[in-house]
Each structure stands twice: as structure tokens, then as C-alpha cells.
Structure 1
Amino acid sequence: MDSFLTDPLFILLIGIIIVVGGIIGLRLHAFLALLIAAFVVALMTPASAVEIFALSKGSSAGAALQMSNWHVGKRIATAFGQTCGKIGILIAMAAIIGKCMLESGAAEKIIRSLIKRTGVKNAPVSFLGGSFFLGIPVFFDTVFYLMIPLAKAMANKLGKNYLLLVLAVTAGAAMANSLVPPTPGPLFLISEMDIPIGMMMLGGTLVGLFTISTGYMYALWANRKWPVPLRDSPDAPLKDIKALSLREDSHLPSLWLSTLPVLIPLVFITVKALMDTFMDTGDSNNLMITLINFFGEKNTALICGALSALMLLVRQKKDDTKAMLKAVQMALMSGGVIILITAAGGAFGGMLQQTGISARIGELTQGYQMAIIPLAFFIAVVVRTAQGSATVAMITASGILAGMSATMDLGYHQLYVGLAIACGSKIFPWMNDSGFWIVCKMSNLTEKEVLKTFSPMLTIMGVTGLIVILIAAQIWPLV
């Protein structure tokens, strides 16, 4: 009986029940539910399992024994702090970039420029690509808040295709939000699973292109089958939408300035990742290599992006001396909550790792290494469907599967496991998902319309991603 109660799979089950039951049944904030689950998991984990975990991480025998005797509070706080150290600055800077791009008009300029280049008839494709691009540094709900007025204005101009525009926006933003750092879910995932950020950015973008393509095909079909008219609403009267479509471009920043807050961190991080992958720099004293190493570090790159976003905001709002202060304050308020939730998820995932769950799953899947990818996908699907949050689903699944490469020979890079988790976190959003209600209320679609269009589209994209990942892991294992 005791061995059953200390089995990592049983402890995992209890942890998931507490997270899902706490969020759905007791209406607890995700931060509290994750923290409570971390405490329960830590209490249930025997000291011997903690000692084995510490040894597997390279600790000495004495240090491992000492860690096994730590108070559960200290173990949780340590894991909490380690997660904050990994992603705290990144999330805060991403939040500042997103807010400043909205306030300065940079985001709107990017979308309009895309439309000018593709033409009005190809506007849905512009919205798809634009929302994916903006979804890299900006949270899903923020991208949707930005894009929906433009979607309404474009539908007003076209006189049709409103549902197609809404689905294009949600498809791009939703996939970038889970696949491409520096959004919180992917950031946590790569830190837990030891995946280089540059590799995740490139892999997530490539998989994202496949998924949004299939999502767009479904959106075209759904728009023909269930056309939705542009509806008047108190928060977005049709007369105001008309005025929005006539706003002068002269009030917006130039395109090259608008893209800098996103391009700076993306270019810095990508160049460093490419250099690390394809060049043997050793102890080189080359100035260029030194600069790339300095600015390509993820925290530094995001800080540079945030500084450029702040300078753009100050430039655009010269008459408002408090614009920068207000933008930073609002960004940090929203980013702070995300950091707390993510760090609590780190504590929960850390306690799950100490149970020996990775080794246990490794035993169960011995000889079936390729089964890890659909397993990772399935875990994320279960958690996402049960409690609604894609980020929490990614946190939970990556916490369970972290360290897999240390306990078994996968035969392919852990990147594919991470991408599978990201795609699984997209499956069938419904009423327990805040994104569902954002899409529903901001677009003036009914619950039934959202359930038969938005939810199936994300499911199709997630499954497409899984298929692409399974094929890629066979052809390009990257090990």
C-alpha cells in the first residue's frame, strides 16, 4: 500500500486532480491551485526519491542527502525562485514590448502595411501572418484586442468575410502563443526541458506555418458554411468602425520603427543561436563575436527590444509626459501575474520531477521512444481540456516530462517533445478557457458560433502539428 501511495504516477494523478479541481471546482486562481498542488506533491514524495533526483542532476552524495532532508517549503521556494530566475525578466520585457507597441500605434502600422502589400482581397492572409508575428512577443488576448477593431473595419470595407477575418486572427495569435518564445508557455517549456531558445523559435515557427495553413483552410470552409454578419455593438458601433477605417497613416510611426521592438530581440537571439550551432568560436576575442554573445543572450535581447519599444512610445506621444510610466505600469501589472502563475507552475513541475516521474514514464515506454511524442501531446490535451489554460497545460506537461533525455535515449532531440506539448495545449478550447470568452464577446459571435468554428479550428491545427512533428522527428532527429 505504501509503495502505491508513493508511486510517481499516483502522486501525479493527485497533483493533476488538485490543479484541475482547484481551478474548475473551487474556482481558485491558477497561482493558488498550482502552489497547493506543489505542497501536496512535495509532502507525498519520499525522501529517497528526492535524493535520487538530486543525484541524477549531478549533485554529490552529501548534497543529495542534504536536499532530501529539506523542509517542503524550502524545496518549493527553491523551485519557485529558479523558475523566476529563468523567465521573470523575459516575461516582464515581453509585456512592456506588447503594451508599447499597442500604445504607440506600431502594431496597427504593421497590420496596415501587410494589407497594403497583399491587397484588400487577401486581407485574411495578412491578418493571419500579422497576428502570428505579433503573437510572438504579445499575449494572445492583447493581439486579439488589437486586431478585432481592424477586422471589423476590414469586414465593413469588404461587406463580407467577417468570420474568416476573426478566425485568421485567432489562428495566428493562438499558435504563436504556444509555439514561439518569448511568450510564457514556450519560455517555461524550454527552461524545463533544456531546449535552446533559438532552436525553439525556429522549430516553433516552422511547425506554426504548417498549423496555421490548415487552420486557414478550415476557416475558409467555415466562413462559407456559416457566414457571420458584422454586428453593431455598444463597445464597437459601426459608425466608429467606419471612422477607424478612415484614420490617417500619418498618425502612426513608420514601418521600420514599428517592427524594431520585435525584430531586435528576434535577430539578436537568432544570430547567436546560429553562431553557436555552426561556428566554433572557442575563446575568441573577436569584437563581433563578443557583441553577438552579449546582445544575443535572451534576457539582454529582450531588454533591448523593450527599450526600443519605450523610445518609440515616447517619440509618438511627445505631448503625454506620463505615457511611458503608464504603459510600463500596466505592462508590469499584467506581466507580474503571469510570472507568479508560471513560477508556481515551476514549483509544481519541480516537485513532480522530484517524485521520479520522468524515470517512471521512461520505464513504461521502454522500447517505444517514439510514443513519447504522442504521450506529451496527450498529457497537454487532457490538462488543457480539463482546466482551460494552454499555459498551465504546457507547464504541467513539461514538468512531467522534463529530464526525459537524462533517463532514456529518445533517439531524437527533446525539441520535438516540447513542440508536441505546445500543439497539445491548443486542443478544443471551450467555456473554461478565458480565450474562448475573449473571442466570443469581443467579436460579437454567439457561444454556439464560437464552439463550431474557433474550437474545431484550434483542434485541427494542434493535430496537424503533431503529425508534422512525428514526421520531422523520424526524418531529422537532430541528434
Structure 2
Amino acid sequence: MITEITLNWQLGTSALLGLAAAAIALLLVLIIRFRIHAFIALVVTSLLTAVAAGIPAGEIIGTLTSGFGGTLASVALLVGLGAMLGRMLETSGGAQVLTQWLISKFGEKRAPLALSVASLLFGFPIFFDAGLVVMLPIIFTVARRLGGSLLFYAIPSATAFSAMHIFVPPHPGPVAASGLLEANVGLVLVLGLIVAIPTWYVAGHLYGKFVGRRFNIPVPSILSGAAGGQTSEEFKSAPKVNTVFTLLLLPLLLIFLNTGLNMLSSAGLVDADATWVQWLRLLGETPVALIITVLLGMYLLGFRQKKDKTLIETVVDSALGPVCSIILITGAGGMFGGVLRASGIGQAIADSLEAVGMPLIVAGFLIAAVVRVAQGSATVALTTAAAIVQPAVLDDPSLSSLQVATIVLALAAGSVFASHVNDSGFWLISRFFQMDVPTTLKVWTVGQALVSVVGFVCVLLLYALATMIA
């Protein structure tokens, strides 16, 4: 896989910044002004950006397909399998059953809060995109039942997954940064939770209420009814709420096998090469966990309810058509980000910021944030920033374990800043919520910037406390 290109001629940092800005502007003009389909616009912009960046002609297609394929490798299976599970829950009436249970337990006014709390719990071991896809049918059903803009319900839940994914081990970003900076992963986990919860409250709960009042986004029908009216009625069975909880909690538990064992092996508590560890981690790989859950869903919601085999196949198959566009556009977003990464813009920006004298924790946050905005990948932004500040952290014996853990979280806060058109997650939100690009920029990009800033403020408070204790 091509992940880095040696350019025939070297662009300076200012030229690379100009190139990135011009590419993003071209993409927005194509989509907003000329109404060109986002997939085509992303491919065209990626191609032109690769040429302008000086990537050799013989390597351009490889660079494009590398970014596209790398994103699809992590997204296509999750979206496809998640959509199948979501379609079965929606069509069987399972989502409605769980919605009624939530409302009966928490009341209509607290139902959005209940969704967010569930997302915070699910978000502990499950990655952002996988958790969101699994929760979508419940979010959509609650929003349809209670009325109002989808954003009242979706933004708090999505932000909960985002905050947990970026700040809390065992997610890969904070674990990788902890390894580079030799931080205590357990300490990062505890402090990450302290940062993630107030960040979600401000940037998810309160912000969700604000954008819900400002933007009236209808509930999409992407997970309901596309199998055909008659087919949908035939598949209904009103399953028990315990059955729905089983299908939602199973991937949570399976994925925790992977992420939990990965964290334990990083801490040296289990042998990562042990056969039993590898098999359990395989069961916890997100695609494997989801395919097991989909098969169980076919049994519990289909075969056990005496549904015809052809009917079950039709319902599962009907989930794939509506999400094909989401998968392709998300992959093309990964292609665009991959081209920007191949241009070397992230490293050039990081090298320039490294030379500017400022407090280490602030410099790390800014490096991660600028690299994130420039090339789109939160993971690349986090690991780049961690590699840049690593010598300063490891060579400073005065830094306590608490201070090092807060530096990790500062880098994490920067790496989530302002998700926009070069981030595949931006397109996942845009397509699933069926928001146009300008609205997604106003809602999701601003919201992720808020997650970053609020999270960093919380980290600074912890760092000040750690400095007083040290």
C-alpha cells in the first residue's frame, strides 16, 4: 500500500498550505456551486491535487486507490454490516420496542439524554463509526417518535462516541500516543474519562440543543421501509426488549475482548502472542463482532419468528442499496485526505510549529490541530504530534506521570479539531444524517471544533492541578 510519496520537487510549507486551501476551496465550489455529486467532486479534486503536489504520474493512481482502499477497508464492512443489523431492528419493530422502553423509563424529555448515556457506555470499547452505525436505528426511531429536528437526538449521541473514541483508551489513538510518550495507560484512561464527560456535555448535550433549534433536519428513511411496504409488514414481530438489548450489547462485549486485551498486552499483563489471546482478539475485531451479531439477528428476528428464508434475505439485502452511496463517498473522502498526506503537508506543518517557542502542552495541541485540519486523519494528527513532542517529553525528568498523561490528552484534543471535507468521518455524518455540505460544515465541523477546544480547556485544568501536585 502506498502511504508516502517522495516528490520530484519539494514544496515549502507555505506552498503546501496554499495547495491544501485551494483543493478544499475547489471541492466546496464543485459540490455547493455546481452541484456535482460529492463522490465525483472528491475524485476529481483528489486527482488534480495529486498532480499539483508533484506526485509522479506513474504513482498518482496508486496514491488515489491507496487512500480510497484504506478507508473502505475500515468503513465498508462496518457500514454494510451495521446497516443490515439496523434494517432488521427497524423493520422487525425492535427499534420501536426499545424506544418505548426508554421513554417509559426515562420520560420523553430525558430520552435524548438516555441515548447519549448509552452512547457513552457503548463508546468505551467501540470505535466511533461502528458504534454510531449500530445506534442509528434507535436514534432515528426516538427522533421519529418524539418529533423535532434529528439533531436534538443525533448530535449528543454522535458526540458521545467521538469524545470517548478520541480521549479514552483502549481506543487506538490515545493508546498509540501513550506508547510514544511512555505514559501510564491506566492513568490516561481515568483522566480521559474526566475530560470526555464534561466535553460531551458542552459540545454534545448543550450544543445538540442549540443546533436542533437552529436546523430542522428531518429523520432519514435510510434504515426503514426500503425493502418494500409489504415486505416490511411481513417481517414485523415486535421482539422483546431483552432481544434488542442482546443484539446491541453483543458487539459491545465482543469488541471489548479485542480492545481490552490489547490494552492489557500493552501494559504487559498478558502475552500478546499467546494463542488464546489472538483467538479472543479475533472474535473482538469489529467486522467479526458485527457479522456474528448480524447472524444472531437473522436468527432471533427472523428464523425464530418463523419468517420465510427468502423474506429474511430480502430484508438484509435491502439494507445495502441505500448505504452504497455513503460507502463510496466516505472512501473518496479518505482518498482526498490520503493525497494531502502524501503531499507531505502534515509533516511540513509540524516541523514549522516545532520551531516556535511555546509551552509544550500548547505546542502539542496546536501541532495536532493544524495537521488534522490540513490532512483530515485524526490518527495521523495524533501520532505526528506525539512523535514531534516525544523527545521533549522523554528528556524532561521533571514531568510527572500525571503531566505526561495530560499531554497525551492535549494531543488527542487537537487531533479531533474541526472535522471537514478531507475527513472520511465528515462524509459518514453528512450522508447518514442526510445533511448537505454547508449544513454539515455548520453543524459537525463546528461541533468537532468545540469538542477539541472544550477538551483542551479541561486538559489544561488537569495539567495545572498536576503541576501544583508535582
TM over 0.5: yes
Return the alpha-carbon distance in structure 1 between the equivalents of residues 17 and 211 of structure 2. Answer: 41
Instruction: List per-residue Cα deviations over 1:30-81 (Å, max 9, x = no partner).
Output: 211211121112112235xxxxxxxxxxxxxxxxxxxx67342233223322
- When residues 417 and 146 of structure 1 are mapped into structure 2, their CA distance, relative to the original with a 3 A threshold, is farther
- When residues 172 and 84 of structure 1 are mapped into structure 2, their CA distance, relative to the original with a 3 A threshold, is same
Amino acid of the residue matched to residue 148 of structure 1?
A
Cα displacement (A) at 1:417:
5.0
Return the alpha-carbon distance in structure 1 between the equivalents of residues 262 and 151 of structure 2. Answer: 38
- Residue pair 2:66, 2:338 contacting (<8 A) in 1 also: no
- When residues 317 and 328 of structure 1 are mapped into structure 2, their CA distance, relative to the original with a 3 A threshold, is same
1:270 counterpart residue number:
256
The correspondence for 1:41, drawn from 18, 40, 49, is: 49
Return the alpha-carbon distance in structure 2 between the equivalents of residues 116 and 141 of structure 1. Answer: 20
1:64 counterpart residue number:
none
Instruction: List per-residue Cα deviations over 1:165-213 (Å, max 9, x = no partner).
Output: x6641333442565567xxxxxxx979x9789x9999999876643443
The correspondence for 2:29, drawn from 21, 34, 51, is: 21
Instruction: List per-residue Cα deviations over 1:203-228 (Å, max 9, x = no partner).
Output: 998766434433545777999xx89x
Amino acid of the residue matched to residue 240 of structure 2?
S
- Mean Cα displacement is larger for which, 169-178 or 106-115? 169-178
User: What pairs with 1:36-185 in structure 2 (closer than 5 Å)?
Assistant: 36-46=44-54, 70-119=58-107, 122-129=110-117, 136-138=131-133, 145-152=140-147, 168-176=152-160, 178-179=162-163
User: What pairs with 1:195-274 in structure 2 (closer than 5 Å)?
Assistant: 209-214=197-202, 215-217=204-206, 252-274=238-260
- When residues 419 and 309 of structure 1 are mapped into structure 2, their CA distance, relative to the original with a 3 A threshold, is farther
Instruction: List per-residue Cα deviations over 1:75-111 (Å, max 9, x = no partner).
Output: 3223322332233222221222222221222222222
Return the alpha-carbon distance in structure 1 between the equivalents of residues 460 and 292 of structure 2. Answer: 34
Amino acid of the residue matched to residue 320 of structure 2?
L
Return the alpha-carbon distance in structure 2 between the equivalents of residues 201 and 312 of structure 1. Answer: 36
1:357 and 2:345 aligned:
yes
Cα displacement (A) at 1:362:
0.6
- Residue pair 2:116, 2:156 contacting (<8 A) in 1 also: yes
Cα displacement (A) at 1:23:
1.3
- Residue pair 2:237, 2:305 contacting (<8 A) in 1 also: no
1:471 and 2:446 aligned:
no
Return the alpha-carbon distance in structure 2 between the equivalents of residues 310 and 471 of structure 1. Answer: 44
Calculate percent identity across the aligned residue pairs. Answer: 21
Cα displacement (A) at 1:16:
1.0
2:282 counterpart residue number:
294
Let me know the Cα RMSD of the aligned residues: 5.0
- When residues 253 and 212 of structure 1 are mapped into structure 2, their CA distance, relative to the original with a 3 A threshold, is farther
Instruction: List per-residue Cα deviations over 1:369-409 (Å, max 9, x = no partner).
Output: 634535765787x89xxxxxxxxxxx835498476247622
1:157 counterpart residue number:
none
Amino acid of the residue matched to residue 424 of structure 1?
A
1:396 counterpart residue number:
376
- When residues 361 and 218 of structure 1 are mapped into structure 2, their CA distance, relative to the original with a 3 A threshold, is closer
Return the alpha-carbon distance in structure 1 between the equivalents of residues 444 and 29 of structure 2. Answer: 27
Instruction: List per-residue Cα deviations over 1:112-154 (Å, max 9, x = no partner).
Output: 22233334664453355467769924288755542233214xx
- When residues 266 and 437 of structure 1 are mapped into structure 2, their CA distance, relative to the original with a 3 A threshold, is closer
Amino acid of the residue matched to residue 418 of structure 2?
G
Cα displacement (A) at 1:356:
0.9
Instruction: List per-residue Cα deviations over 1:429-468 (Å, max 9, x = no partner).
Output: xxxx96899699xxxxxxxxx99xxx78995785255322
Return the alpha-carbon distance in structure 1 between the equivalents of residues 258 and 239 of structure 2. Answer: 29
Return the alpha-carbon distance in structure 1 between the equivalents of residues 452 and 11 of structure 2. Answer: 38
Partner of 2:325, secondary structure, is: helix
- When residues 11 and 471 of structure 1 are mapped into structure 2, their CA distance, relative to the original with a 3 A threshold, is same
TM-score for the superposition, normalised by structure 1: 0.63
2:365 counterpart residue number:
373
Cα displacement (A) at 1:255:
2.3
- When residues 273 and 90 of structure 1 are mapped into structure 2, their CA distance, relative to the original with a 3 A threshold, is same
1:409 counterpart residue number:
389
Return the alpha-carbon distance in structure 1 between the equivalents of residues 20 and 92 of structure 2. Answer: 45
Partner of 2:133, secondary structure, is: coil
Return the alpha-carbon distance in structure 2 between the equivalents of residues 262 and 202 of structure 1. Answer: 25
- Residue pair 1:6, 1:45 contacting (<8 A) in 2 also: no
Amino acid of the residue matched to residue 42 of structure 1?
A
Partner of 1:259, secondary structure, is: helix
- When residues 171 and 16 of structure 1 are mapped into structure 2, their CA distance, relative to the original with a 3 A threshold, is closer
Cα displacement (A) at 1:261:
2.8
- Residue pair 1:106, 1:253 contacting (<8 A) in 2 also: yes
Cα displacement (A) at 1:319:
4.1
2:40 counterpart residue number:
32
- When residues 4 and 201 of structure 1 are mapped into structure 2, their CA distance, relative to the original with a 3 A threshold, is same
